[in-house]
Amino acid sequence: MSAGRGYGPDHHGGHAPSPAANGISVSGSSGPDRASLVLGVAAIVSAGFFFIQRGDLSLVRVENAAAVAAALGFGALAVLGGWLARRWLTIAAGAGFAVATAIQLLQLGRDTNWFGGTGSTFSFWLGLAVGLLAVGLTPRTAGPRARRRTDHTTGGE
């Protein structure tokens, strides 16, 4: 999954004001926001595997309405999180996929399988969950130790 190019205002000094903080909604305003958007689009696109349930092109098992709803719902949250530069939406999407992933894992091979998925569903959603949570939870400004290091090298200016 290609999640963005990684070169945005946040990556060069971190002093650029957040568009969201200015009340301006800008699509793909930073690398992490673009990544959230791309991961959300991938989740939404994956719902299309509902129509490809057999054969070599069935890369991910998306078998029932619950799985489609999870992919579309959490995917839309991730897209919104990236589009509006709202990290909490990205984290919510990641948390949603994490819960769905855990449920899918616990129900693999059982008669009760709410999402009707297999290990492929588990693996795909695991990627979306860890990816969105990593994007949402990674601090976008330098930590105290890194700031001290920078202050030291620049003479504290």
Partner 1 sequence: MWVMTTAPAAAAPDAPHARSPLGRGVLAVVRVGVALLWVQNSGWKIPPDFGQGDPPQGLYAFARHAVDHEVFGPFAALMENLVLPNFALFGWLTLLLEASIGAFLLVGLATRFWALVGAGQSVVIALSVANAPNEWVWSYLLMLLAHLALFATAAGRYGGLDGVLRPLWQRSGSPLARILVRAS
State the nearest-atom distance from the C-beta of 147 to partner 1, in Å. 8
Hey, is 116 helix, strand or coil? coil
Instruction: Report the distance separating Cα 117 and Cα 49, nearest Å.
Output: 11
Distance separating the N- and C-terminal Cα atoms of the chain: 40
Q: Choose between 35 and 84: whose C-beta lies nearer to partner 1.
A: 35
Q: Residue 81: what are its φ and ψ, rounded to 5°?
A: -60, -40
Instruction: Report the distance separating Cα 131 and Cα 79, nearest Å.
Output: 13
Q: Choose between 59 and 65: whose C-beta lies nearer to partner 1.
A: 59
State the nearest-atom distance from the C-beta of 9 to partner 1, in Å. 12
State the nearest-atom distance from the C-beta of 144 to partner 1, in Å. 7
Q: Choose between 25 and 53: whose C-beta lies nearer to partner 1.
A: 53
Which residues of the chain form contacts with partner 1 (CB under 8 A)?
1-7, 10-11, 14, 31-32, 34-35, 38-39, 41-42, 45, 58-61, 108-109, 118-124, 126-128, 130-131, 134-135, 138-146, 149
State the nearest-atom distance from the C-beta of 12 to partner 1, in Å. 8
Q: Choose between 61 and 86: whose C-beta lies nearer to partner 1.
A: 61
State the nearest-atom distance from the C-beta of 11 to partner 1, in Å. 4
Q: Choose between 23 and 144: whose C-beta lies nearer to partner 1.
A: 144
Mention every residue, 6+ apart, whose C-beta is less than 8 A from residue 104: 113, 115, 117, 121, 122, 125
Give the rounded distance of the alpha carbon of 72 from its chain centre: 13
Residue among 86, 88, 92, 93 at smallest CA distance from 39? 93
